Amino acid sequence: MNILMVGDVFGEPGRTALLRLLPGLKREHRVDLTVVNVENAAGGFGVTPKICRDFLDHGVDVMTSGNHIWDRREIVEYIARENLLLRPANFPLGTPGTGHVTVKAGPHRVAVINLMGRVFMGALDCPFRTADALVAELRRETPIILVDMHAEATSEVMALGWYLDGRVSAVVGTHRHVQTADERVLPGGTAYITDLGMTGPVDSVIGVDKDLILRRFLTQMPVKFEPAKGPAALCGALITVDPETGRASDIRRLRVPA
């Protein structure tokens, strides 16, 4: 089974790159399932129902998110009824939406879990203990489990990768918008990468107009952030999984110019 996981889609450049490149990538790599982090897809902050519908219509199977999921008020009603858009599973009890979903990919079932880190982030439930409970539940349905760990600290993502090694098919990091070069299959058969990277404008500072960021650093004055314009790229990873055991055999970084 070939799985494509795509890093944070940022603003209009990221949306255009994803929609333009995804069909070809799916054909070229015979992708069975596509998971995309969408929490920055609307102008760099949040996501809207229309954007979600466009992504689903163009071949995205599951959408994950993170700390910006509530930036657009209209997403609250949508996420409450659309389980293909996930919010972190370790949000407090009673938060709208769900943090995991199981979908069909051909004859197989695949579970996707969305978690968020706590280091330099909000005060949430423990992602490790949340993962324990969900993985135990989901493994009764399928051995193929994918985890998007949306976190600031690389150490927290790495720790979760080792913690879940052998129990899930993949642990990938999102949030930092900079792709890491540490992809590997861990000894227990879990594909791992600390950050998938950003799908968005190349000539930017993590997606934002570089001149605005420079002004902020130089003056320390408040600046309204805007997505950068210009060329974009899609970043993510291709993961090969044995559908019978759920063990990964390969993970490859992707960085494709739009």
Which residues are the active-site residues?
68
Cβ contacts of residue 253 below 8 Å, gap of 6+?
A: 179, 181, 183, 193, 197, 235, 236, 237
Phi–psi pair at 121, nearest 5 degrees: -125, -165
Contacts of 220-225 spanning 24+ positions with Cβ under 8 A: 225/44
**Cα–Cα distance between 215 and 125 in angstroms, integer?**
36
Q: How large is the angle between the packed helices 49-57 and 11-29, nearest 10 degrees?
A: 20
Both structure tokens of 185: 């299959």
Both structure tokens of 98: 């769900």
For 27-71, the DSSP string reads HHHT-SEEEEE-TBTTTTS---HHHHHHHHHTT--EEE--TTTTS
Task: Please list the alpha-helical segments (H only) found in the chain.
Answer: 11-29, 49-57, 75-81, 127-138, 154-164, 210-219
Pairing type for strands 191-193 and 170-174 reads parallel
Contact 174, 38 (CB under 8 A): no
Write the Ramachandran bin of 97: left for phi over 0, alpha for psi from -120 to 50, otherwise beta: left
